[in-house]
Structure 1
Amino acid sequence: MKKNKIDMNQMLQMMRKEKVFSLREVAYAILEADGTMSILKKAKYETPTVSAMNLPLKPVFLPVTLINDGKVDWENLSKSGHSEEWLLNHLRKHNITRYKDIFYFEWKEDEGVYLEKM
């Protein structure tokens, strides 16, 4: 670190950006060529993984944006397997009658609908 003219405060800041808040958690810290720091935590500070805890794996689904800033993304609506009638039904449940009254509307397979009004 001295060779690269990085003081302890700078190093601690770089560690925090990697979600490491104490030097005691670090097994190895590598200063990369681009100036960032890569950190390998000591085993006892690692976050356990789903497989390490023998938990069942859940599929991961990406949210699909259907309305953004009052405009419907018709292609995403179609690709998500939903119709305009389905979309309108969800809007009615929230007492919304116009697309332009929606700031953001997304659908996620495992969680359903999330929306924010204007």
Structure 2
Amino acid sequence: MSAFELITRVVISYIFLLLLARLMGRKEVSQMTFFNFISAIVFGTLGGTMITDPSMSIRNGLLVVACWGAITIAAGYLDLKSKTARNLMTGEPVIIIRDGLIMEKTLKRVRLDINSLMAQLREKEIFSLSDVDYAIFETDGKLSVMKKENGQQPPPPGPAIFPLPTEVISDGNINTANLDKLQLDEAWLRQQLQQQSITSIRDVFYAEVQKDGKLYVDKRDDR
């Protein structure tokens, strides 16, 4: 492939992809769905192949990119006009915390583990699950959270004992490392659970020691 042909391919590919991008409309990266993400990867791959692969003629390369662009535009049109198509391509937001309780089955369905959930809550400056009323997992993978109102908050905590709410049970398993950091033991944990009429660790999906030393518990299969 000569330098002139390579430059020609680069210029034509750039102009053609730019036109297609304008036709498909604007969308911020943070708002991209999984389908948008896949389409962007395919466009990049096709554009790169058209530029560097001498066995693919410019005409065939433009034809392939145009076909994929037409499919993407048609899918975007269906996404706007049909709720069924929109649900098929992008899915629906799902509630993963309802009335302060974690929906474990929903977490598994969206393939989100408890550690990832807590990390997303911390990104929103929420360090205790007890502060959350509702949480919705959006189609772009982000978490929308509604905090509990003042009237729903638990009684004001006593003097702070620990610097942050700390996980001690996750998915029915005791986090002994965190218990040790808090200078607590399993006997204390089981005693706290018994006070809440919980006899088995396996019945607990998530539990944390709050800043005032109290134990917050989310039971397994509570919905």
Greater Cα radius of gyration, structure 1 or 2: 2
TM class by smaller structure: 0.3 to 0.5
TM-score by length of 1: 0.47
TM-score by length of 2: 0.26
Q: Which structure: greater strand fraction?
A: 1
